[in-house]
Amino acid sequence: MSWQGKILRVNLTSGEIAPEPLNMEWANDYIGQRGLGTKYLWENMDPKADAMGPDNVLIFASGPLTGTGASTSGRYAVITKGPLTGAIACSNSGGKFGAELKYAGFDLLLIEGRSEKPVYLLIEGDEISLASADKIWGRTVWETDQWIKKQHHNPMLKIAAIGIAGERGVRYAAVVNDLHRAAGRSGVGTVMGAKNLKAIAVRGTGGVRVKDPKRFMEVTGEMKNLLAKETGGLTKYGTNAMMDTMQEFGGLPTNNFQQVQFDGYDKVDAKAMLKTDETGHTNLLTNKACFGCTIACGRIAHIRKDHFTIQNRKEYWHASGGLEYETAFAFGPVVGVDDIDACTFAGYLMNEHGIDPISFGVTLAAAMELFEMGVITTEDTDGVALNFGNAEALTIMAEKTGKQEGFGEILGMGSRLMCEKYGHPELSMTVKGQEFAGYDSRALQGMGLGYATGNRGACHLKHDTFDVDMDDQTGEGKAEPCKTSQDFTAAVDSSGLCMFTMAAWGAPEFAAQLDADSEGDWTAERLIESGERIWNLERMFNLAAGLTRADDTLPERLLKDPAPSGTAKGRVNELDRMLPEYYALRGWSEAGEPTTETLNRLGLG
């Protein structure tokens, strides 16, 4: 079977490092990765604990398929209590780090306590230690990656690290692995920083074995072919192909969600990335795969050398991770910027300093609205005119946030706290304190319901109602696909594969791969039921942390201000209609709490 059967418990307070057996009963009930990490979190901490305190627990979890030959098998997740929301945080990343952890012999890392001094965790096979991070504290993710590899004479180390943002408490700091893949959302990097843990460096030389190798190779081979057939567009254009779709539909949040269409969309979309300009420069250089992936939707881009952002900064004259839809949205429409090089540079800065681009962009958008209203002025913003569309302001503020200088410290609070500070909480485009992704809830009703009920706050990655939302712009019939896809996505995440494969694979296809991989009879039904169990356990964590039904809501702008244009012109989100139906389908009370019957049915009683 593909589990290594071992987890690593690291207590940063005492410095104790101890392997322990993987709880197989939990693996069977919660699949792995996101689900298993949630169970470990639930069993190892009080959900009321301070997210920034030593009693919070930080988990890095792989799935049963992580590190196998299945396509997209490199995923891992970071699970903890989030500082942005006070709810459970679960961020998923690709790259190579997750598989490496498995090859090092561990299915999961559980990190507790808080180190007195900055340290990094080094795992080189069975040689495991906590080493002083004195020399890299205050350094960027990229510098840290280089330094650790050099220090240990091991270029094969895979490194997940935080930047200055994580060290200094930016509430949406990311954990960045392999230079430009990130467990980006919900401030999982902030928790790492609060624990004084700068990085985790792993080299694994052990193998991963599957239950039925012959069947596994047959099934995964077939699945790869299917995936290649269905995801050609994603390979060619990346996720930013979505920009045109959202523009046309009128679901592209613009200028802090005041509009739903953006005039400059075609200057920052996938086609713009492919276009060669008058100087012969093309933004996109190549596409790039995460570990094991057939799709290769990742973008590798570069910035024009004569662009104002880097013309005097040769250190950025190199290729790196390019724009994906969410980064293009967060540095483009939502802040009104249509300068592709500025957007690409902002993306570099996010990876370099370890910041969630979505939360940063949407927080900056709120600051821009405050600025245009006159609530804040250049006196607050270090002299920078924070007008929508100001590309220079975008990149200056991205860097200030990364380095925690000047107004960057305010932006680092996140949209909710910042808007409260300036007396305009209504401008914060968040759910439970986490900023929205690039889909407007007035045009995409089911997406709105998914945002409102999202266990980690507003998030586009934990459900998939896209097709039904595009077909019909009312709230009717959205609760069921929202609930079903939340459960399914929880199962997909937990398997260790990438949710982008859902374009080609349904539950039976995932179950077939899992069944050839791991012990136990994995069927589509069991997979989805496990997903529902995971969703409910996340919900229980949040309820125990003190969240209530009142947190399952959307900002007034989306509930009261009609969409000003597009195919949903005149509509608001119909959350009041969808939410009670959703609770009933979930088997939750009107207060949004799972009933005893529901808990018993899922084995959570």
Partner 1 sequence: MHRMLHMEPSLCTGCLQCEMACSFEHEGEFNPARSRIRVFEFEHGRISVPYTCTQCVEAWCMKACPTAAISVDTQLGAKLVSPEACVGCKACVAACPFGTIEFNPASGKVDKCDLCGGDPKCASACPTDAITYVDAGASGVGRMQASAQQAAQGGAS
Among 248-256, 262-270, 280-288, 436-444, which window interacts with partner 1 (CB under 8 A)? 280-288
Between residues 11 and 146, which has the closer beta carbon with respect to partner 1?
146
Minimal distance in Å, beta carbon 210 to partner 1? 8
Among 32, 47, 64, 67, binds partner 1 (CB under 8 A): 67
Angle at 161 between CA 158 and CA 165, to 5 degrees: 160
SS3 17: strand
Among 49, 131, 300, 559, binds partner 1 (CB under 8 A): 300
371, containing H or E segment: helix 357-373
Beta-sheet pairing, 197-203 with 284-288: unpaired
Beta strands, E only, 462-549: none
Among 150, 318, 421, 560, binds partner 1 (CB under 8 A): 318
Minimal distance in Å, beta carbon 267 to partner 1? 23
- The dihedral sign for the CA sequence 541, 547, 550, 556: negative
Among 75, 224, 307, 463, binds partner 1 (CB under 8 A): 224
Minimal distance in Å, beta carbon 581 to partner 1? 42
Among 3-11, 282-290, 390-398, 430-438, which window interacts with partner 1 (CB under 8 A)? 282-290
Minimal distance in Å, beta carbon 318 to partner 1? 6
Q: Does 282 bind partner 1 (CB under 8 A)?
A: no
Alpha helical stretches, state H, 435-477: 445-453, 466-471
Q: Does 217 bind partner 1 (CB under 8 A)?
A: yes
12, containing H or E segment: none
Between residues 228 and 502, which has the closer beta carbon with respect to partner 1?
228
Among 17, 228, 375, 524, binds partner 1 (CB under 8 A): 228
Q: Does 286 bind partner 1 (CB under 8 A)?
A: yes
What is the C-alpha separation between 175 and 62, in angstroms, rounded? 15
What is the C-alpha separation between 141 and 193, in angstroms, rounded? 12
What is the C-alpha separation between 442 and 448, in angstroms, rounded? 7
Q: Does 207 bind partner 1 (CB under 8 A)?
A: yes
Minimal distance in Å, beta carbon 285 to partner 1? 6
Among 13-21, 315-323, 371-379, 451-459, which window interacts with partner 1 (CB under 8 A)? 315-323
Among 1, 6, 52, 69, binds partner 1 (CB under 8 A): 69
Q: Does 206 bind partner 1 (CB under 8 A)?
A: yes
What is the C-alpha separation between 544 and 150, in angstroms, rounded? 44
SS3 346: helix
Number of chain positions touching partner 1 (CB under 8 A): 39
- Identity of the amino acid at 244: D
Q: Does 120 bind partner 1 (CB under 8 A)?
A: no
Look-up: residue for tokens 């009670």? Answer: 580
Q: Does 205 bind partner 1 (CB under 8 A)?
A: yes
Torsions phi, psi of 109, nearest 5? -110, 130
Between residues 204 and 336, which has the closer beta carbon with respect to partner 1?
204
CA within 13 Å, CB half, 119: 19
Torsions phi, psi of 362, nearest 5? -75, -30
Minimal distance in Å, beta carbon 388 to partner 1? 31
Q: Does 179 bind partner 1 (CB under 8 A)?
A: yes
Among 4, 33, 38, 68, binds partner 1 (CB under 8 A): 68
Between residues 348 and 407, which has the closer beta carbon with respect to partner 1?
348
Between residues 299 and 483, which has the closer beta carbon with respect to partner 1?
299
Q: How far apart are the first and last CA of the chain?
A: 29
Q: Does 285 bind partner 1 (CB under 8 A)?
A: yes
Which residues, other chains included, contact 40 with Cβ-Cβ below 8 Å and sequence gap of 6+?
A: 7, 23, 26, 57, 59, 61, 79, 108, 110
- Identity of the amino acid at 107: D
Among 66-74, 242-250, 411-419, 550-558, which window interacts with partner 1 (CB under 8 A)? 66-74
Among 98, 204, 446, 531, binds partner 1 (CB under 8 A): 204
Which residues, other chains included, contact 312 with Cβ-Cβ below 8 Å and sequence gap of 6+?
A: none
Q: Does 176 bind partner 1 (CB under 8 A)?
A: no
Which residues, other chains included, contact 499 with Cβ-Cβ below 8 Å and sequence gap of 6+?
A: 92, 461, 464, 489, 492, 493
- The dihedral sign for the CA sequence 509, 481, 181, 328: positive
List the structure tokens of 414: 């996140």
In this structure, the chain runs to a length of: 605
Alpha-carbon dihedral angle through residues 279, 282, 283, 286, given to the nearest 10 degrees: -150
Among 17, 49, 131, 296, binds partner 1 (CB under 8 A): 296
Among 294-302, 306-314, 374-382, 593-601, which window interacts with partner 1 (CB under 8 A)? 294-302
Among 270, 272, 293, 497, binds partner 1 (CB under 8 A): 293
Minimal distance in Å, beta carbon 223 to partner 1? 12
Q: Does 294 bind partner 1 (CB under 8 A)?
A: yes
Among 320, 359, 381, 465, binds partner 1 (CB under 8 A): 320
Our measurement of the distance from residue 284's CA atom to the centroid of its chain's CA atoms, rounded to an integer in Å, reads 23
Q: Does 208 bind partner 1 (CB under 8 A)?
A: yes
Which residues, other chains included, contact 119 with Cβ-Cβ below 8 Å and sequence gap of 6+?
A: 12, 130, 131, 132, 133, 196, 197, 198
Between residues 290 and 572, which has the closer beta carbon with respect to partner 1?
290
Minimal distance in Å, beta carbon 153 to partner 1? 15
Q: Does 313 bind partner 1 (CB under 8 A)?
A: no
Q: Does 265 bind partner 1 (CB under 8 A)?
A: no
What is the C-alpha separation between 517 and 196, in angstroms, rounded? 37
Write out the residues near partner 1 by the rule CB under 8 A.
Answer: 67-69, 71, 96, 99, 103, 156, 179-180, 204-210, 213, 217, 224, 228, 285-294, 296, 298, 300, 302, 318-321
